Amino acid sequence: MRSKTSERTPVQVDCPHIHKIIKKDSPLAKIESSSFKKQITNSSLHCDICETRAPRLWICLHNRCRAVVCYTSSKSHMRNHFDKENRDDSCHSIFVNPHTLKILCHACSSELNPFGDNNVLTSEARTYLKTVIRYLQMKRNKSQISIDQIPIDVPGLVGLKNLGNTCYANAALQCLSNTPALADFFNYCDAYIPQIPYISKHPNYKLGEYFGQFVKAMWNGTSPIFVPVQLMNEIRKYNEVFRGHGQQDSMEFLRCVLDILHEELPYPQFMPGKVSKNGECIYMNQTISTSTSSNNSHNVCETISSTSSTTTKTSTTDRIQRRQSTRNSIISQNFQGTLESRIKCLHCKKEYLKEENFYDLQIQIDKKFKLKSSEKFPENSSSSSSSSSGSGSVMGSLAGWLGMNSRVVRLQDCLSSFCAIENLTGEDKYRCDKCESLNDCQKRLRITRLPETLCIQLKRFRYESCFSSKIATHVQFPMEDLDMRPYCKDLSNEKGNPELADTLNITKYDLYGLIHHRGVLGGGHYIAYVKNPIDKNWYEYDDTFVTRKSEADISRLEAFVLFYHKRSSEKDRERAEMSSKINGDSTAETCYFISRLWFNRWQFMTAPGPITNYDFICPHGGVNTRRYPNIRNMVVKVPFSVYTTFVNKYGTDGSLPFHSADNAISGCTFCEQEEKILEQRRRKEDEEIRKIDTNSIKRGEYWFLISAPWLLSWHYFKSGGSPPGPIDNYHFLNEDGSPKVGMERGINYRGINERVWSYFEHVYGGGPVCVRNAIDLYAPNPLISDYTKHGKSSKTKWIKK
């Protein structure tokens, strides 16, 4: 049974009792003692009267008391303590919960929140209570910091509640929320987050919305602890691995979150020249006809009442492999880099090139290659010589890594091993298409595009056929100036791709986050360490505990995942200069409006690209009415001088500039008319589908199976989204029409009658047709007959009835 304190939410009132406490001694009296702090940290603290433990414990904040009492549904030693000790000259009514960090006045029956936006507490009372909470939030240290060193007003110092072995998720989420570009996007560019996620492949999922709430709570919240229940529930819809209470891999969780956010939050794709001669407007790469003929009215079949409970079991690996590189998002533009794999056949000398995108580099700690220095890839000779300014040549670093120079293992050594030439021999031979045989080959990896945020995983878990273990080798990693140039492809001679070459001009990175795994394989605990961008100090985030750390403490850690961001002194100076002009008095200048998305890239990316206003303008050159209600939150107002500087340095993509003497932005009348026509189409399709849709079929009829995600996208179109595009039944069918393995009714496919299918097929096109006697993908197909076998081959023929 839940306690009464957890059931009620006390209203904040002007509490006169707190002023009796703050006039006394230090707010840390007694709780700063080493033994008391140790009991709080290891959860051994219990009620002074009974054995009740957290989370139902409360500490009296009277400076000479600090009694520990309980408050449960069946007993209240808090009340007993208050009745016994409280007097006019001795206040024993203020209590703090060391587990939830909530402060309660028993006399007023009110909660005192020093981080709230109300003006109930005085500045002195806020400082006092913040000091108490921040100190309880810290873990016990060997060297305690003084009271004036406690960071009471630094944003971002919010712990995460462990929901049951979710430390792996908490560590990853802390590093993501402290990634500056992501934090700024969700705090100031949230108008670009679609409220109806019809853009996503899975319209019923809303991770972007919940992740935005999470980031705002971490930076602008009113509590020192955030409970990520909704966020975790949303992530668990995508990957069933995270649904239980077992310990999971923090890096796998991180990849899952990034991949989902990339799908859900693509940058707007309003491009010029998208209005066709017949009056059609292309929105999000989908055609919206302005015609009102009956041929353009469409509807859906089955009413979906259980969309909130549907799930997908697509693995994170499969999702990453299907990621579209041409679709940009806040995720891809910050975390995505490109890796080139080059394999050379040692027999015929033919080379095979393959490029693939990555969100993180998976670096082995104990990988050792057989080197053959006489065989080199021609384009790498210059890049090897250029590495002397950073970590030395690849060969030299690798020699140290192998212990030839008695050097310790460094991150640069692991990166050199990752990019070194690997001999593919024996069981690892590669099949050469030219030789048509398995041959000895050489393989090499080089980075062709560096991401703005570099995520490096040190593969500490070794999985063998007979046993698995954890690699505990300490890897030295630079806190600043990690130079990635030695591991990049030399693009100085890439005449036809100057933009790609520009991405490698800035190659130095500074560390801002780290995930540490303590324990053994199959168990242990994940902890995040992050450099706060406000006060520039390092903090340890151990679930709800937040403790300040020194750089020396960080450098000694056994890193599992490292987070680096690009550093450029020139860009820092430019940002400081332009920001001072933007925030200064610009009344004498005409102001221009630029997209907040581009401004976000300029603030946190070294190569933001050309200025674009297509983020918020329509194909007609005006403001798109679909986003007009939030237009003020989608733009940044900059003086003409700043706009000119941006244009001269970064150029534009041809989108029209927006400026006005009265700073007004009006909507586009063309878009308003098109939206009215589109709304008429939605109503018409809905009405027509309702007339022909049924929950059953007659004898001799068949069920037509249709993609459940496509059907969901149609429902969201009906609710105000964009048209769903052609039917795509390849979501649950193979190319030959056979069912994919593991498809589930209601999740991957649904059933509609023939009239609804014909309607959809006529309006949207697509397919292929899939019919059954029952809504069961794996039931026999009644329209298929066996085809006579001829020779060695046999075929199946679709019979159209």
pLDDT tens digit sequence for 25-35: 677 776 777 77
Q: Which of 69-73, 80-84, 221-225, 763-767 has the highest mean pLDDT?
A: 763-767
Please compute the mean of the pLDDT values over residues 607-620 and round it to a whole number: 83
Residues 216-230, mean pLDDT to the nearest whole number: 90
DSSP 8-state assignment for residue 617? B
Does the pLDDT at position 383 exceed 90?
Answer: no
Tens digit of each residue's pLDDT (9 = 90 or more) over 391-413: 444 444 444 444 333 357 899 99
Boundary of a domain, candidates 141, 174, 204: 141
Q: Residues 98-125: pLDDT tens digits?
A: 888 998 888 888 888 888 876 678 888 8
pTM for the predicted model, two decimal places: 0.76
Per-residue pLDDT of 260-319, as tens digits, reads: 999 888 877 544 443 333 333 333 333 333 333 333 223 333 333 333 333 333 343 343
Judged by DSSP in three states, 790 sits in strand
Q: Assess if residue 318 is contained within a domain.
A: no
171 with 193, same domain?
A: yes
At 173-221, the pLDDT tens digits run 999 999 999 999 999 988 887 655 444 445 555 888 899 999 999 998 7
671 pLDDT higher than 50: yes
Lowest mean pLDDT among 86-95, 527-536, 753-762: 86-95
| 690 and 765 co-located in one domain | yes
- Terminal CA-to-CA distance of the chain, rounded, Å? 62
pLDDT band at residue 358 using 50, 70 and 90 as cut-offs: very high
Contact between 379 and 398 under an 8 Å Cβ cutoff? The reply is no
Closest to 276 measured CA to CA, from 266, 294, 291: 291
- Helix residue ranges, H only, 8-92: 18-22, 34-41, 77-85
Instruction: Say yes or no: 24 and 136 in one domain.
Output: yes
Top pLDDT among 632 and 287 is at: 632
Question: Could you tell me the two tokens for 578?
Answer: 């332009």
Contacts of 421 by beta carbon, 8 Å cutoff, 6+ apart: 369, 371, 372, 375, 376, 377, 442, 443, 444
Residue 143 pLDDT grade (very low, low, confident, very high; cuts 50, 70, 90): low
Q: Of 435-439, 510-514, 645-649, 781-785, where does mean pLDDT reach its minimum?
A: 781-785
607 shares a domain with 631: yes
> What is the CATH classification number for the domain harbouring 83?
3.30.40.10
Which CATH number goes with the domain that contains 726?
Answer: 3.30.2230.10
**CB–CB of 323/259 below 8 Å?**
yes
* Backbone φ and ψ of 254, nearest 5°: -60, -45
Tokens 């079991």 map to which residue? 313
What's the mean pLDDT in 241-253?
Answer: 87
What average pLDDT does this structure show over 502-516? 85
Closest to 105 measured CA to CA, from 94, 115, 96, 114? 94
Identify whether residues 662 and 751 lie together within a single domain.
Answer: no
State the pLDDT confidence band at 389, using cuts at 50, 70 and 90: very low
What single string gives the DSSP state of each residue in 471-528? -----B--SS-EE-GGGB---TT-TT-HHHHHTTS--EEEEEEEEEEES-TTS-EEEE
Cis bond leading into 768, ω under 30°?
Answer: yes
**Cα–Cα distance, 243 to 249 (Å, whole number):** 13
Average pLDDT over residues 38-45: 76
Query: Who contacts 330 (Cβ-Cβ below 8 Å, separation ≥6)?
Result: 181, 182, 185, 189, 261, 265, 267, 597, 600
Q: What angle do CA 517, 358, 469 make, to 5 degrees?
A: 30
For the segment 332-348, what is each residue's pLDDT rounded down to a tens digit? 999 999 999 999 999 89
For residues 432 and 438, what is the distance between their CA atoms, to the nearest angstrom?
A: 6
| pLDDT value of position 205 | 58
Please check whether residue 43 lies inside any domain of the structure: yes
Contact 202, 259 (CB under 8 A): no
Q: For position 376, what pLDDT does the model report?
A: 46
Q: What percent of the chain has pLDDT over 70?
A: 75
Same domain, 660 and 684: no
Same domain, 690 and 724: yes
Q: What is the pLDDT of residues 422-447, one digit of tens each?
A: 899 988 899 998 888 999 999 999 99
Rounded Cα–Cα distance for residues 659 and 592 (Å): 4
pLDDT of residue 128: 87
Residues 29 and 46 reside in one and the same domain: yes
Residue 256 structural domain: 159-265
Question: In terms of domains, do 132 and 222 share one?
Answer: no
27 lies in the same domain as 121:
yes
Number of domains in the chain: 4
Helix (H), strand (E) counts: the chain:
23, 35
Q: Is residue 768 part of a domain?
A: yes
Domain membership flag for residue 225? yes
Closest by CA to 476, choosing from 361, 402, 554, is 554
pLDDT score for 335? 95
- Report pLDDT for 118: 67
Per-residue pLDDT tens over the stretch 446-491: 999 999 999 999 988 876 666 677 788 889 999 999 999 999 987 6
Q: Judge whether 483 lies within some domain.
A: no
Indicate whether 684 and 741 sit together in one domain.
yes
Q: Reply yes or no on whether the pLDDT at 800 is more than 70.
A: no
Let me know: does 382 contact 488? Beta carbons within 8 Å: no
Residues 662 and 701 in one domain: no
pLDDT for position 691: 94
Which of 108, 141, 174 terminates a domain? The answer is 141
Mean of the per-residue pLDDT values for the chain? 78
Alpha-carbon gap, residue 195 to 90, rounded angstroms: 53
- For residue 411, what pLDDT is reported? 93
Q: For residue 561, tell me if it sits in a domain.
A: no
The pLDDT value given to residue 35 = 73
Q: Is residue 491 part of a domain?
A: no
Q: 722 lies in a domain?
A: yes
* pLDDT score for 750: 94
Residue 416: band (very low, low, confident or very high) from pLDDT cuts 50, 70, 90: very high
Q: How far apart are CA 276 and CA 289, in angstroms?
A: 10
Would you state the pLDDT for residue 264? 85
